[in-house]
């Protein structure tokens, strides 16, 4: 290309975003990092840019603001970082669970923020490597840090009373325009993410300014500002399912994959990142071998298989690293790599087969680690729970189960057949093999004819982050007529502090103090919830 033409193009892209933004396509692959829940140092961001560039991933999305901390200097509103960037505890979970969720100042608080000069430099550096940085400023929910620092932006006008902006107040939009002017000044990205997820809107119902307004009305008003600034707005999918139909807004789908297809067919640009498949805050390996994660299980191979499957619509693809349980840059790198390699490969016109990808990823992971990136060590992966990988044979397989307390419709697993179908659960409560009970569990298994028993095993899953706990008591009794019951075992179980763990309750005969029943037809199993309440999750009653 002629030098003057290159100059003209570069000049117009840098200085006249209007010329390019509306016709821009989303980057095909995006890695999102939440730097609000835990602030990550700049050096970490530079390293991620280097690695994204190396593997051809074209965009880094920074979730810059959320309740846990506002991370970008805004010159017009220094309160946002003077106060909103610092909190009273270094670890998100301590801060979030302490019931107070207070902010602090730099001298006494924990956190941090990026200055505009630092961000400008990072953006230029990334652009030089072909990586664009998409900033996200949350609106109108997830904004406790804003309404604490600038209470006039909330419906109540008081700090620490609202997670949401007042969406009926003109001042809110003036504030957002001021902020977005500074954001657009630093980030040339044609796309600016404005959040839109999980807004509670509790005060909107009673606030005289907001009454009758919906979140999508607020996002439309914001979209007008973003368009005036020459950019395209991205929102989380609540904004689309909540009724926004302006196709100039790009939709980032984190909940149902069906929404991605619908939004695409109604003409939106779409980023596909359903939490189930694309959120990297899950365990990458057996929970007992890993630092605490959000729960769930997303090993590299499953991630890759999904990304190259036909289930994925023709949208941009993103992997999202939320950092509630990711306190350090080392942790963040371990959660990101080698998983981001799956995205890099899936973006290629002809991605490798799963097996070839695995071999390539193992080689690349060694290189990443040799370069000092704290990638998860694939060479020492434990892998899925062994019981998950084959169907168990046992005396109760296929037996009918009657439930005195029903399983919950949200977690039916395979329905009434689930606890005796031979299929056991894996490391994730969402893998479709775990049946969930809200409160107590009480069920009876009919073996069809009396059988002599040697053992009964039942495994429960605990995932504290989503309020699934091990039972506080496990009781088994047997009968031949459903009238007279012989107790076999009654086991109290102390609360287990580990966040994610499986525990198998067992009755065995003959064993110390365990009676040996004659042949029996019915087995009744009761499990009591933990003192905290919550869920019980079980996968199979294995009888020998």
Catalytic center residues: 66, 142, 198
| DSSP character at residue 483 | S
Q: Output the CA–CA distances (angstroms, integers) from residue 42 to 110, 146, 227, 433, in the order listed.
A: 16, 23, 30, 42
Tell me if 171 sits within 8 A of 153, measured CB to CB: yes
When CB distances to ligand ACM are compared, the closest residue is 197
Residue number, 58 or 195, with CB nearest to ligand ACM: 195
242 binding ligand ACM? (CB under 6 A): no
Q: How many CB atoms lie within 10 A of CB 367?
A: 11
86 binding ligand ACM? (CB under 6 A): no
Residue number, 275 or 501, with CB nearest to ligand ACM: 275
Residue number, 103 or 236, with CB nearest to ligand ACM: 236
Exactly one of 55, 70, 165, 254 binds ligand ACM (CB under 6 A); that residue is 254
- Say how far apart CA 114 and CA 64 lie, in whole Å: 9
Residue number, 38 or 369, with CB nearest to ligand ACM: 38
Shortest Å distance, C-beta 36 to ligand ACM: 12
- Say how far apart CA 501 and CA 506 lie, in whole Å: 16
- Say how far apart CA 376 and CA 383 lie, in whole Å: 13
Residue number, 318 or 445, with CB nearest to ligand ACM: 318
Shortest Å distance, C-beta 38 to ligand ACM: 16
Shortest Å distance, C-beta 184 to ligand ACM: 22
Residue number, 139 or 437, with CB nearest to ligand ACM: 139
Q: Are strands 191-195 and 132-139 parallel, antiparallel or unpaired?
A: parallel
Angle ∠(248,237,295) on CA atoms, nearest 5 = 150
198 binding ligand ACM? (CB under 6 A): yes
Long-range contacts of 302-308 (CB under 8 A, 24+ apart): 303/277, 303/278, 303/339, 303/342, 304/342, 304/345, 304/346, 304/354, 304/357, 304/358, 304/361, 305/354, 306/277, 307/277, 307/342, 307/343, 307/345, 307/346, 308/345, 308/346, 308/351, 308/354
Shortest Å distance, C-beta 197 to ligand ACM: 4
Exactly one of 197, 217, 442, 457 binds ligand ACM (CB under 6 A); that residue is 197
Burial label for 105, CB within 10 Å (0-12, 13-18, 19+), is exposed
Shortest Å distance, C-beta 193 to ligand ACM: 10
Shortest Å distance, C-beta 279 to ligand ACM: 7
Q: Are strands 473-479 and 520-528 parallel, antiparallel or unpaired?
A: antiparallel
276 binding ligand ACM? (CB under 6 A): no
Q: Are strands 191-195 and 232-236 parallel, antiparallel or unpaired?
A: parallel
Tell me if 374 sits within 8 A of 330, measured CB to CB: yes
Q: How many CB atoms lie within 10 A of CB 22?
A: 13
236 binding ligand ACM? (CB under 6 A): yes
Shortest Å distance, C-beta 252 to ligand ACM: 8
Residue number, 102 or 255, with CB nearest to ligand ACM: 255
Q: How many CB atoms lie within 10 A of CB 23?
A: 8
Summarize as ranges the residues that interact with ligand ACM (CB under 6 A): 197-198, 236, 254
């Amino acid at each position: 290309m002629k030098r003057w033409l290159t100059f003209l193009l570069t000049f117009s892209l840098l200085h006249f975003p209007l010329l390019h933004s509306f016709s821009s396509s989303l980057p095909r692959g995006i890695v999102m990092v939440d730097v609000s829940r835990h602030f990550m140092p700049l050096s970490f961001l530079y390293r991620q840019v280097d690695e994204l560039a190396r593997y051809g991933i074209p965009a880094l999305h920074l979730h810059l603001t959320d309740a846990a901390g506002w991370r970008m200097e805004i010159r017009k509103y220094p309160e946002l970082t003077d106060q909103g960037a610092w909190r009273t505890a270094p670890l998100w979970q301590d801060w979030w669970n302490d019931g107070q969720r207070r902010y602090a100042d730099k001298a006494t608080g924990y956190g941090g923020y990026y200055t505009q000069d630092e961000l400008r430099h990072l953006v230029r550096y990334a652009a030089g490597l072909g990586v664009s940085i998409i900033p996200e400023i949350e609106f109108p929910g997830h904004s406790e840090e804003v309404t604490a620092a600038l209470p006039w932006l909330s419906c109540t006008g008081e700090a620490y009373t609202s997670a949401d902006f007042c969406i009926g107040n003109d001042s809110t939009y003036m504030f957002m325009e001021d902020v977005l002017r500074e954001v657009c000044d630093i980030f040339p990205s044609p796309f600016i993410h404005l959040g839109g997820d999980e807004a509670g809107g509790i005060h909107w119902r009673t606030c005289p300014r907001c009454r009758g307004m919906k979140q999508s009305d607020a996002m439309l008003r914001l979209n007008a500002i973003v368009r005036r600034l020459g950019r395209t707005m991205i929102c989380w999918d609540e904004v689309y399912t909540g009724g926004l139909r302006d196709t100039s807004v790009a939709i980032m789908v984190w909940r149902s994959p069906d929404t991605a297809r619908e939004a695409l067919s109604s003409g939106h640009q779409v980023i596909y990142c359903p939490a189930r498949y694309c959120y990297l805050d899950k365990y990458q390996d057996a929970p007992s071998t890993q630092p605490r994660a959000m729960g769930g299980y997303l090993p590299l191979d499953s991630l890759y298989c999904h990304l190259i499957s036909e289930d994925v619509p023709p949208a941009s693809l993103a992997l999202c690293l939320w950092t509630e349980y990711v306190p350090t840059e080392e942790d963040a790198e371990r959660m990101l790599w080698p998983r981001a390699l799956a995205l890099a490969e899936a973006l290629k016109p002809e991605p490798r087969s799963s097996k070839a990808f695995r071999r390539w990823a193992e080689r690349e992971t060694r290189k990443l680690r040799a370069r000092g990136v704290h990638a998860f060590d694939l060479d020492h992966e434990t892998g899925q729970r062994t019981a998950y990988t084959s169907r168990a044979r046992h005396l109760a397989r296929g037996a009918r189960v009657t439930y005195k307390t029903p399983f919950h419709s949200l977690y039916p697993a395979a329905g009434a057949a689930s606890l005796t179908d031979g299929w056991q659960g894996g490391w994730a409560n969402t893998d479709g093999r775990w049946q969930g009970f809200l409160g107590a569990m009480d069920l009876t298994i009919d073996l069809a004819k009396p059988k002599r028993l040697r053992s009964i095993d039942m495994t429960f899953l605990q995932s504290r982050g989503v309020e699934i706990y091990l039972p506080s008591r496990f009781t088994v009794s047997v009968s031949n007529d459903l009238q007279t019951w012989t107790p076999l075992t009654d086991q109290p179980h102390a609360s287990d502090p580990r966040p994610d763990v499986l525990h198998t309750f067992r009755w065995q005969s003959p064993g110390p103090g365990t009676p040996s029943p004659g042949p029996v037809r019915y087995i009744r199993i009761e499990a009591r919830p933990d003192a905290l309440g919550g869920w019980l999750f079980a996968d199979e009653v294995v009888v020998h």
